[in-house]
Amino acid sequence: MGNGRRNLQRGIYGIDYVKNLPKEELSSEEITSIKHMREEEKLARDVYLKLYEYWKLPAFANIAKSEQRHMDMVKALIEKYELQDPVKDDVKGKFSDPKMQELYDKLIKDGKKSLNDALKVGCLIEDLDIYDLNESLRKVDNQDIKFVYNNLKRGSYNHLNRFYSVLKRYGGSYTPMYISQEEFNKIVTSKTMRGMGRRRGSRF
């Protein structure tokens, strides 16, 4: 990552921006949500890194780097509000939440069946991530949390768009399991959006 892009990530649209937004009281739902999103972004990163090792498809490595930035954004919230970080040692493929561990193991098993199955795993992770972010955005009201979640959501839109595009190229298909078919169709037919900051005229 170049210095300009690194500064952008930390600056006006990144971690430093999040830390400089007003610190507001957290609800129990917001605390639970932040911790969950921290591990869910780790799940995405770890699965994509493992699938890249297995299939050597650049899309997995590239999107894993984006998921690391997502993890860092959520970590900024954890540090700002002095919450206990569920990602303690950041060991790849290891999770505090037993359900997250079970999901990781299943996704890796499914993703090793074929390249198309691996790409479907990518679609499913982003499908789930968008659904969880949609649900969380209905419940949170802190400005900094909403900012982070909206950035994560834009990133997940891009990732789903990318995985589905590659999957189609290999003759595969994917039906959403969590978000609506209408939202899915809108995502996979949209132009790529910037994950950090706001694009003028963006609906998302």
- Per domain, the residue ranges of the chain are 26-188
Tokens describing residue 78? 């954890």
- Has residue 196 got a pLDDT over 60? no
| pLDDT per residue as tens digits for the range 6-20 | 444 444 457 889 999
Single-letter code of the amino acid located at 171: G
Q: Cα separation of 28 and 33, whole Å?
A: 9
Q: Cα separation of 42 and 36, whole Å?
A: 10
Q: Cα separation of 84 and 192, whole Å?
A: 34
| pLDDT per residue as tens digits for the range 64-115 | 999 999 999 999 999 999 999 999 999 999 999 999 999 999 999 999 999 9
Q: Which pLDDT score is estimated for 1?
A: 46
- Has residue 139 got a pLDDT over 80? yes
Start-end of H helices in the chain: 3-10, 15-20, 28-55, 58-80, 98-111, 115-137, 143-169, 181-188
Q: Given 1.10.8.870, 3.30.70.20, 1.20.1260.10, 3.30.497.10, which CATH number is that of 26-188?
A: 1.20.1260.10
- How much is the pTM? 0.88
Q: Which pLDDT score is estimated for 14?
A: 79
* Confidence band of 200 (pLDDT split at 50, 70, 90): very low
What number of other Cβ atoms are within 10 A of residue 26's Cβ?
18
Q: Which pLDDT score is estimated for 191?
A: 76
CA distances from 129 to 8, 18, 60, 124, 135 (A): 24, 20, 16, 8, 10
Q: Which pLDDT score is estimated for 87?
A: 97
Q: Which pLDDT score is estimated for 194?
A: 55
Query: For the chain, what's the residue count?
Result: 204
Q: Cα separation of 96 and 36, whole Å?
A: 10
Q: Cα separation of 87 and 40, whole Å?
A: 10
| Residue whose entry in the numeric block shows the structure tokens 């700002």 | 80
| pLDDT per residue as tens digits for the range 156-193 | 999 999 999 999 999 999 999 999 999 999 999 987 66
